[in-house]
Each structure stands twice: as C-alpha cells, then as structure tokens.
C-alpha cells in the first residue's frame, strides 16, 4: 500500500516568523494519521521550521543545485539541504522549467544527486494548455518521466515521488477532472513499469497538483492512482491546508 503524501509548496512566500506560525498551527490541526504531510518553505525558513521538531510535518526544499559544491553563486546544494533536515526536494517544478529554463537533463542530474544523499525528489511533470489541446499530454508527460528516471536504479526509484501538474491548472483555479488526472497518472505508472517493473511502479507515489483545495481533494483522492497532492496557493493558510490533509477524517 502506498501511503498518500500531501505537500504544500509555499513558493516565494513567508518570512521565518510566518513560516513558524503556519507550521505550529498546522501541526495542531493535523488529525489524519494515514497521510504523510510535507511543507516546502523557502530556503531561508527551512532551518527554523526544522528546529520546531514537529513530528507530523516533514520538510522539503523547493529546488537545489545540480552540483554538490563549488563556484555557483546563489545556489543551494544537496549537502546543505541534508544538513538542514530536508527529507524531500521538489525538482523540475513547471515554474523552474519555464522561468529558469531548467531542462529534463538538469532535473535528472539533480534527482540522482538528491538520491545519492538520501533526499527524496518530488519530480514535477505536466503539459501546457497548448499541448493538451493538441492531444500531446501523454507524449509530453511520458517523455518527461523517462528523462526523470534516466540512470536511476530500481532501488532508488521507489523513493522518487512524481507530481503530475498540468501547467494550465497551476494557480488558475482550474483543475483537471479527477478522472483525467487519474488517467494521466495511470499512464505515468505504466511508463515506470516499462522502465523498471510492476513492483517498482506500484511503489512509486504519484501526486496530482494544480489548484488543489479542500473542496476538491476528496474527489481527487478517491481515484485509485492518485497518491496525494502537491498544493500551492491553498497550502499557505494552515486551516485550509489542514482541511486538505484531513480530507478523510469524519466530521
């Protein structure tokens, strides 16, 4: 059984003080035991959140460098993330791909580096609106998934989390229908089975992301292939994010 993982990607939001307050509130509000809850604060707040020692909230960074150390002004290395208590790192978010020109090759290099140091990558894949309209969704996503796993052993692959995030659904209020998201995620799992085998494919957790909120999480999580969510805007508020995480708790 795959344990669902719901991660809150705060993007470029929250000072240290705000991050501490949000996490303290969130930790109190989490009732669900069967979901792994992760927050992804900006680099500057990682250390402070880690120092809170909250047992029910895991820590992720939003990006990392594709080298271990060296003359890379402004970059943050996997060793620093490990040092600061990160269990996960988001890689290849569409904003990184689009605004910072990150390529599949770079994202794969980062993923291999993260796994080398036992940080689990959450690798984002997803199509643009134009690609969806041109019926290219599966081709695009399959090629991103193949590139992401390039050179990664089966032993490491099971520690990768994939986030399927249709780009047109990010921050727009539009969500893929649960059935559509499930279908693309099933294709991703099939691709992983082709690269490795069914056992690995069954172990890898695949999230949906794109305008997830407390009002649509239940429907998404009811789909058999969807193993959690990568939540942007709705994760900034502790009450709303807790409501997402607690989607299955009887009221």
Closest CA to 223 of 164, 156, 169: 164
Task: Give the strand pairing for 120-125 and 5-9.
Answer: unpaired
* Distance of closest approach, residue 97 Cβ to ligand PGA, in angstroms: 12
Name the catalytic one among 36, 102, 165, 223: 165
Provide the terminal-to-terminal Cα distance of the chain, rounded to the nearest Å: 25
Site for ligand PGA in 138-197 (CB under 6 A): 165, 170-171
Q: Of 9, 106, 108, 187, which lies in the binding site for ligand PGA, with binding defined by CB under 6 A?
A: 9
* Distance of closest approach, residue 177 Cβ to ligand PGA, in angstroms: 15
| Nearer CB in complex with ligand PGA: 120/211 | 211
> In angstroms, rounded to a whole number, what is the distance separating the alpha carbons of residues 205 and 222?
15
Residue 93 a catalytic site member: yes
Say if CB 2 and CB 34 are below 8 A apart. Answer: no
Rg (C-alpha) for the chain, rounded Å, is 17
Chain position whose Cβ is nearest to ligand PGA? 232
DSSP letter for 2, please: P
Site string for ligand PGA, 199-238 (x = CB under 6 A): ----------xxxx-----------------xxxxx----
| Nearer CB in complex with ligand PGA: 94/191 | 94
| Nearer CB in complex with ligand PGA: 41/210 | 210
| Nearer CB in complex with ligand PGA: 81/217 | 217
Distances (CA, A) of 154 to 24, 146, 158: 37, 13, 7
Alpha helices by DSSP H, listed for the chain, are 16-29, 43-51, 78-83, 94-99, 104-116, 129-133, 137-148, 154-157, 178-195, 198-203, 217-221, 238-245
Give how many residues touch ligand PGA by CB under 6 A: 13
8 lines the binding site for ligand PGA (CB under 6 A): no
Residues forming contacts to ligand PGA in the complex (CB under 6 A) are: 9, 165, 170-171, 209-212, 230-234
Catalytic residues: 93, 165
């Amino acid at each position: 059984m795959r344990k669902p993982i719901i991660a809150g990607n705060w993007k470029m939001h929250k000072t240290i003080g705000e991050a501490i307050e949000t996490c303290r509130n969130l930790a109190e509000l989490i009732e669900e035991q069967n979901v792994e809850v992760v927050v992804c604060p900006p680099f500057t707040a990682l250390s402070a959140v880690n120092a809170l020692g909250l047992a029910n909230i895991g820590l992720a960074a939003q990006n990392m460098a594709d080298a271990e150390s060296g003359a890379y002004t402004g970059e943050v290395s996997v060793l620093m993330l490990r040092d600061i208590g990160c269990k996960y790192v988001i890689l290849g978010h569409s904003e990184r791909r689009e605004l910072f020109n990150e390529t599949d090759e770079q994202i794969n290099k980062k993923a291999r580096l993260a796994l080398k140091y036992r940080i689990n990558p959450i690798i984002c894949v997803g199509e643009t609106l134009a690609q969806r309209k041109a019926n290219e969704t599966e081709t695009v996503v399959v090629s991103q998934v193949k590139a992401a796993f390039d050179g990664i052993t089966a032993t490491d692959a099971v520690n990768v989390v994939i986030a399927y995030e249709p780009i047109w659904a990010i921050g727009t209020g539009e969500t893929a229908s649960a059935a559509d998201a499930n279908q693309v995620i099933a294709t991703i799992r099939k691709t992983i089975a082709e690269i490795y085998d069914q056992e690995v494919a069954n172990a890898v957790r695949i999230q949906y992301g794109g305008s997830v909120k407390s009002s649509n999480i239940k429907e998404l999580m009811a789909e058999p292939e969807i193993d959690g969510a990568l939540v942007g805007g709705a994760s900034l508020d502790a009450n709303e994010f807790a409501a997402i995480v607690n989607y299955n708790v009887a009221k």
